[in-house]
Amino acid sequence: MKRRRFLQMMGGLAVAAWSPWRAVAQSYDDPEDIHARLKGTPDLKLVMGNGDISVVIAGDSSPLDKRRIEVWIRRSATAVSTYFDRFPVDHWGLLVVPEDGGHVGPATTWGYAGSITRVGVGREVSEEYLRNDWVLVHEMTHLALPRVPMRSEWFMEGNATYVEPIARAQAGQMPPQEVWRWAVDDMSKGQPQAGDKGLDHTHTWGRTYWGGAMYWLLAELAIYKKSDGRYRLQDALRAINRASGGNTASWSVEQATHAGDIAVKSDALTSLYDELKDRPVTVDLNGMLQQLGVSEVAGVIRFDDRAPLAELRRSITSPRGRSQT
């Protein structure tokens, strides 16, 4: 199943009630049940950087292979840890629920009583599918930011949508061309439509995921320009993660943007939030991509290294050292 179609079928931080897998995933939909299940002896205990990961496989795991599950989790955690310069939380519990088929998902992440995630994994899932999976990286990215009010769900979902492919590219798990394909093919789905009232008031799928991702791409450009190339969005997000401790914290969007802005010595995140939260703003997406030197020719993503922001584009998918803050 293609990434954008899967995202279209998922809700926010919790899977929507109309998920097509609901019929085979009746158990462990309640975070209290998941917390209780994770208190038992884990099937896997992993340490990724500063983070302790406890993994429980629910029910009959056959023929799921714990070794393959561990490789999949480590690969995903490596991507997220590369982007945030650490695993985003100190402790994370993951409940793997075996299901029919060969897919990964649905998945849901909670943080209000400890960082936990529930993810369905098909019993026939292949090693290749797990190697190319983005779902778990998306959920791990949710661990990095504090929870914000539901009216601003786009802030969290857009961030996970934006960061996930970049983190995988920085970890050497996918080529930069694939990172930018989602921008070329899908980001326009986040543009405001008739009746839109701004990101905090329009909660459609397109605005939540891709409108939110567009906010973070705009922030990427704004931080780079305002700092004359010294800082990146990555510096701001690392700072927010460290200040909040991740998704067990409950913050306002203003708190989060302020923490990020301090790190990059500008008002880029706050001013952009003020601009987009209460009114529809159509973004010149094509113009942004041209500045970055990204285009599609005959179905192939091409890069123009003469573009004004080509250096920024290259740096986005290249591993960065420790935050400059």
Concatenating the DSSP letter of every residue in 51-120 gives EEEEEEE-S--TT--HHHHHHHHHHHHHHHHHHHTS-SSSEEEEEEEEESSS-EEEEEEE-BTB-EEEEE
Q: For 13-29, how does the pLDDT look when each residue is reduced to its tens digit (9 = 90+)? A: 333 322 322 333 445 77
Are 195 and 305 part of one and the same domain? yes
Q: Are 56 and 212 in contact (CB under 8 A)?
A: no
Domain contains 321: no
- The reply to whether 8 and 75 lie within a common domain is yes
- Whether 88 and 202 share a structural domain: no
Summarised one tens digit per residue, pLDDT across range 166-207 is 999 999 999 999 999 999 999 999 999 999 999 999 999 999
* Domain end (from 110, 142, 174): 142
Per-range mean pLDDT, top range of 14-28, 38-52, 62-76, 266-280: 266-280
pLDDT for 65 equals 81
pTM over 0.85: yes
Q: Are 208 and 12 in contact (CB under 8 A)?
A: yes
For residue 93, what pLDDT is reported?
A: 97
Predicted confidence band of residue 235 (pLDDT cuts 50, 70, 90): very high
pLDDT of residue 312: 98
- Residue 155 in 3-state DSSP? helix
Residue 106: inside a domain: yes
Average pLDDT score over the chain: 89
Q: Do 108 and 128 share a domain, yes or no?
A: yes
Q: Could you give the number of structural domains in the chain?
A: 2
pLDDT in tens, 268-299: 999 999 999 999 999 999 999 999 999 999 99
205 shares a domain with 105: no
Residue 323 lies in a domain: no
Q: Which domain holds residue 180?
A: 150-316
- The predicted model gives 84-93 an average pLDDT of 97
Residue 319 confidence class, pLDDT cut points 50, 70, 90: confident
Residue 10 has pLDDT above 70, yes or no: no
Same domain, 78 and 137: yes
State residue 4's pLDDT score: 41
CA distances from 124 to 102, 120, 134, 138, 139 (A): 4, 12, 18, 22, 22
Determine the average pLDDT of the residues in 241-255. 98
Report pLDDT for 62: 64
Q: First CA to last CA across the chain, in angstroms?
A: 40
